[in-house]
Structure 1
Amino acid sequence: MSEENKYTFENEEYRKTYWHTCSHVLAQAVKRLWPEVKLAIGPSIDGGFYYDLDAPFAFTQENLAQIEAEMRKICKEKLKLERFELPREEALKFMEEREEPYKVELINDLPADAHISFYKQGEFTDLCAGPHLDSTGRIKGNGIKLTACNAAYWRGDSSRQTLQRIYGVAFPKKEELDAYLKEREEALKRDHNKLGRELEYFTTVDCIGQGLPILLPKGARVIQQLQRWVEDTEEKAGYLLTKTPLMAKRDLYKISGHWDHYLDGMFVLGDPYDETKECFALRPMTCPFQYQVYLNRQRSYRDLPMRLGETSTLFRNEDSGEMHGLIRVRQFTISEGHLVLRPDQLEEEFKGCLALAKYCLGTVGLLDKCTFRFSQWDPANPNNKYEGTAEQWDHAQSTMEKILKDLDVHYSIGIDEAAFYGPKLDIQYKNVYGKEDTLVTIQIDMLLAERFGMYYIDENGNKALPYIIHRTSLGCYERTLAYLIEEYAGALPTWMMPEQVRLLPITDRAADYCAQQAQQLRQEGFRVEVDSRNEKIGKKIREATLEKIPYMLVVGDRDMEAGTVSVRTRTGEDLGAMTVADFTAMLHEVVDQKLKK
């Protein structure tokens, strides 16, 4: 990076440092206004910063405005940020005297011989590893905006204190802040958690639980269309359909290693530590279940590759603070599959998995915004999260690296992001607020086959262990629906819309004619409704447009006489009068070719 860009927002390190310093300014402003508030943590994050606070009252929008004003004063004061260190005992005393219990807890977790760093600005001092800007004057006060205040658990633990997390963002120029706020306003319009509820795709109910959304008829219909299409597409690609149980005894998860590595993320039925009693767990993944299909009888090298696919419902005990609409949930459905193959088939099958994922994501319109991450193990942590030896991991990762190079996949590297049994290619996607999650994953597994005794007989008559590819083709359907709602602002492509056509009779006389045409269109496989309410046609059109219905067929006396329908689109385009046959042909082209309109 050039020297002139080193201290600009083009430099990610500088941008993070700028935002981290803003979090300290936020905390200082809060302490000036309400000294009784206790400080927790305040990092920079993708898209800004936050600070977790323990206050005896709930922060309001008026309070956030007060904090913003105080932050601007602190910036104008141009307070110097000074770093200093203290031995652990002195650091504890320092924070105990200031009655900051959360800071004391953090210091207690550090080694006894640690020298602990602090940053001081004016009267305010915070426990922090840094880095920071050298002065609060580097921050432009008119470029600061506090954006939200949400609940957050201390250290992400739902059994601990509930804190208040104030989010903010800041830019060196007010024009940049204005542009950001405009983008955020657009993001709010597309936010699936808001728009998906307004369009009645899903809802949540407190007495059912967090992270357990109810798919309403519209959302259920979209996911049904996606599932049918993916299953048909996978069948054409040589996948064998399976249907396996939603739960199993702990014995299965002990064989696979999930009991040792994933127990905290599972919903367990019974006492997981009482070996004298039977204990079950809802499945967080399908792999150990699908392996039983392979193990049903002895396999030969001629049986491989065996491609197993399943529309799997999974359960994961995510932290409460991580829940978000349909993107992060505790029960979800996934286009899961496992390929059992000979080592010499690995590259070709991996290539096929990636091509299938790209085809599915491209067809629904998400591929262009996807990024790729090569998720690897952390060699410094081999005996905790990961199975296998360093040699096995080096072999698996070098094999995947070669495959990705041969396929010309451009990727970032994610250290310590691998599965416990192998490296993976994660296809990443960001929601409208810039938060990134994994949409599709393709994993190479050279370890679990041995755990399950999944031998095959090779061409020389000897027993050999296969490799396994764990993969999804479209990923989690709920998450995909969320991203589709955001990508298309609710106006999903016609082929997947829950309602594709709505007939709008102008008069009562036209209602029977509309019902007949609707039935004819349903026979062609389209999803059609008739709005026969005694309302003005303008209101019917407006409501259908707000509901994002792709095609509205307006029918009056003239249409009945001519045997036509007047076609309008949700974008306001008037296609004029058509025969139902002509409209049907046009609609077939849009739906059958899965056009993005």
Structure 2
Amino acid sequence: MSVSLTFPDGSVRSYEAGATGLAVAESISKSLAKKAIAIAIDGEVRDLSDPVSDGKIEIITRTDPRALELIRHDAAHVMAEAVQELWPGTQVTIGPVIENGFYYDFKRVHPDTREDWPFTPDDLPKIEKKMKEIIGRNKPFTKEVWSRQKTKDVFAAKGESFKVELVDAIPEDQDVKIYAQGDWFDLCRGPHMASTGQIGTAFKLMKVAGAYWRGDSTRPMLTRIYGTAWAEQEQLDQYLHVLAEAEKRDHRKLGREMDLFHFQEEGPGVVFWHGKGWRMFQTLTAYMRRRLANTYEEVNAPQVLDASLWETSGHWGWYQENMFAVKSAYAFTHPDDKEADNRVFALKPMNCPGHVQIFKHGLKSYREMPVRLAEFGLVHRYEASGALHGLMRVRGFTQDDAHVFCTEEQMAAECLRINDLILSVYEDFGFKEVVVKLSTRPEKRVGSDELWDRAESVMMDVLKTIEEQSGGRIKTGILPGEGAFYGPKFEYTLKDAIGRDWQCGTTQVDFNLPERFGAFYIDANSEKTQPVMIHRAICGSMERFLGILIENFAGHMPLWFAPLQVVVATITSDADDYGREVAQQLRDAGLIVEEDFRNEKINYKIREHSVTKVPVIIVCGRQEAENRSVNIRRLGSQAQTPMSLEDAIASLSEEATPPDVKRRQAARKMAAE
């Protein structure tokens, strides 16, 4: 009996039944066999020692993107072995691969007191050293299938009570696999590489944290050790560099330094905006309003609406766990008062149902289509307290939300119009690398397959047009099954200054909500026709987008977007009057200016304002006052640029003009010429 294998180049070869992946690799070349770490049969990654079966085969080497998961998985096992070699008696629990790395949870007790003995960061270098030693032994990974009872008996004898419990969690139809690397072994689904030496040394243990067994706060507390591992040292170095940069750019840290906002326990997940932070928020809102002018009608829907409306929309059934429900305080304190309003209301988690009500108010003709409604709507969504993260994940936030009601024939053109707007906004903030992906129908959804077919077909055509019109500059892709429950959507992901991806904008086609609410327009044949509803967001959450901007620019905001643009600082008190004149002329030119005439050394003032990320410091002394000039000091630069006051005001005014305003001014100038 033989096995038929199809190779990536299309060639087909036959092998004896029972031939392993390694034997297949050796049959091609000895050099490939040396590089091989695993195989994939019809896309499923398997151990190199596994027998092959009929199908399409790929030989996986360390340069294959799929190798990263294997490297990290194997590194986790080696870390567990290292811990148990260093501290015998430590219990090993679970150790999965996660994004960019891996972790393992351990239960360690002190050998003398028998009390819990959590790991600390000081233990990590010792564990790393032992891991390198184990990798250097280059022991092969081997696999055996054990009976459930044998597995439980062996781990019970070793004092591994958590492993015994894990055996019972393995579904009955699955084998109990044991992977060994030399004398050390663990319960594992696999697959693994051929040997520990293939892991390499491009790894680092990152931190320790507490974690309850199985995530249950009633169960024992364990120590979780996190690590990262990569195929090459250069990749590890780059990752660590990005992490270091991200720490320096953390918007929460910069928010404190720049005095922008804060959070406190009495308002979990909601932002306390300070003056400068709110100014930045309003600058973003004003910019977005200008971009929507003459195209969208700005509206405002109520924040609190009866639960019945959310039942009609479907959110009460699909999204209830993320919503805040409220009743009047009187109804709570007077439960026996039959006159009390006992209705349940919800704080809106999104603006769309309210916008449908506005569209429905008054008869609409096909001649009025499309109708574009925009709102900077404050919404509230419940997030677990552990998931809250500064401006990036909050419970109360503002959406730059819009809904376009159009005919089915207008849908493609509207999606392209929205795409152009989204890309233009991102470019104004310096984001040039953008990926647009189409998320298709999820398993749980509303609406007929016919509606989904029509919507996805149109959006697929739009996606092709987006890529073609950009000349390939905009990358596109498909996210199968990731659409909203009511329709497919485009997701816009931008790349920041240190290479991180942020998903921000969305365009979502919805045939469902207009149908649920009975929205219609009168078509050319005087018939009631259901519109297509397009949900559109550019920033998404305004708070989150501001967090992204703060981190992208590391607090060094472009002058037009900075909450404080210029500080005028004097060297000596006899320049104060001139400093006041400079500051006032800058304000008259539209800049946001503060004065610093304190009796402090100029270098002290410069350092202080640099910490708060003021983009421009104008230094004035006696000589500048006499010459009616200034010295301009830029954030992050040691140099001072002398300029006449007139030139400085003109230059800074130009720089402080928002990019969209500059385009409009340029267009008017061209039209006038």
**Alignment partners' CA distance in 2, 1:392 and 1:86:** 50
Give the SS at the match of 2:124.
Answer: helix
2:193 paired residue number = 133
Give the SS at the match of 2:132.
Answer: helix
1:319-468 pair list within 5 angstroms: 319-366=384-431, 368-378=432-442, 381=443, 385-408=444-467, 410-429=475-494, 436-468=501-533
Say whether 1:77 aligns with 2:134.
no
1:232 paired residue number = 290
Percent identity of the aligned residues?
A: 37
**Which of these residues, 303, 316, 321, is aligned with residue 259 of structure 1?**
316
Check conservation: 2:375, 2:401, Cα contact below 8 A. yes
Check conservation: 2:571, 2:619, Cα contact below 8 A. yes
Taking structure 2 as the reference length, what is the TM-score of the superposition?
0.79
2:298 paired residue number = 241
Structure 1 residues 31 and 394: alpha-carbon distance in aligned structure 2, compared to 1, 3 A threshold = farther
Give the SS at the match of 1:407.
Answer: helix
Kindly name which structure, 1 or 2, has the bigger radius of gyration based on alpha carbons: 2
Amino acid at match of 2:76: S
* Range with greater deviation from structure 2 (58-67 or 334-343): 58-67
Give the SS at the match of 1:543.
Answer: helix
Taking structure 1 as the reference length, what is the TM-score of the superposition?
0.88
Q: How many residues align?
A: 582
2:280 paired residue number = 222
Q: After superposition, what is the alpha-carbon deviation per residue over 1:375-417, rounded to whole angstroms, capped at 9, x for unaligned? A: 1224xx3xxx311233322222122111111222532222232
Say whether 1:578 aligns with 2:638.
no
Say whether 1:565 aligns with 2:630.
yes
Q: After superposition, what is the alpha-carbon deviation per residue over 1:456-491, rounded to whole angstroms, capped at 9, x for unaligned? A: 111101111111111112222222222222222210
**Alignment partners' CA distance in 2, 1:293 and 1:488:** 39
**Alignment partners' CA distance in 2, 1:279 and 1:328:** 26
Check conservation: 1:153, 1:321, Cα contact below 8 A. no
Check conservation: 1:39, 1:52, Cα contact below 8 A. yes
> What RMSD in Å do the two structures reach over aligned CA positions?
3.2
1:99-178 pair list within 5 angstroms: 111-141=171-201, 143-151=202-210, 164-174=223-233, 176-178=235-237
**TM-fit CA distance, 1:257:** 1.1
* Range with greater deviation from structure 2 (92-101 or 246-255): 92-101
Check conservation: 1:239, 1:309, Cα contact below 8 A. yes
Amino acid at match of 2:297: L
Q: After superposition, what is the alpha-carbon deviation per residue over 1:220-249, rounded to whole angstroms, capped at 9, x for unaligned? A: 22121001110121123x111111222323
2:15 paired residue number = none
Give the SS at the match of 2:293.
Answer: helix
Give the SS at the match of 2:656.
Answer: helix
1:64 paired residue number = 124
**Alignment partners' CA distance in 2, 1:157 and 1:418:** 31
1:486 paired residue number = 551
Q: Which of 1 and 2 has higher RCO (CA within 8 Å, sep 6+)?
A: 1
Give the SS at the match of 1:441.
Answer: strand
**Alignment partners' CA distance in 2, 1:100 and 1:259:** 45
Structure 2 portions without partners, runs of 5+: 1-7, 10-31, 37-58, 109-115, 329-340, 468-473, 661-673
**Alignment partners' CA distance in 1, 2:510 and 2:485:** 9
Say whether 1:186 aligns with 2:241.
no
Check conservation: 2:504, 2:538, Cα contact below 8 A. no
Check conservation: 2:261, 2:273, Cα contact below 8 A. yes
**TM-fit CA distance, 1:261:** 1.4
Q: After superposition, what is the alpha-carbon deviation per residue over 1:174-204, rounded to whole angstroms, capped at 9, x for unaligned? A: 4554454344333332233433333333333
* Range with greater deviation from structure 2 (487-496 or 554-563): 554-563
**TM-fit CA distance, 1:255:** 1.0
Check conservation: 1:87, 1:113, Cα contact below 8 A. no
**TM-fit CA distance, 1:339:** 0.7
**TM-fit CA distance, 1:270:** 6.1
Say whether 1:20 aligns with 2:73.
yes
Check conservation: 1:8, 1:15, Cα contact below 8 A. no
Structure 1 portions without partners, runs of 5+: none
Q: After superposition, what is the alpha-carbon deviation per residue over 1:145-174, rounded to whole angstroms, capped at 9, x for unaligned? A: 112234556667789876544321223454
Check conservation: 1:314, 1:333, Cα contact below 8 A. yes
Check conservation: 1:187, 1:432, Cα contact below 8 A. no
**Alignment partners' CA distance in 1, 2:166 and 2:362:** 54
**TM-fit CA distance, 1:268:** 2.9
Check conservation: 1:22, 1:170, Cα contact below 8 A. yes
Check conservation: 2:306, 2:343, Cα contact below 8 A. yes
Q: After superposition, what is the alpha-carbon deviation per residue over 1:573-592, rounded to whole angstroms, capped at 9, x for unaligned? A: 4321312x322221221122
**Alignment partners' CA distance in 2, 1:225 and 1:71:** 52
**TM-fit CA distance, 1:360:** 0.9
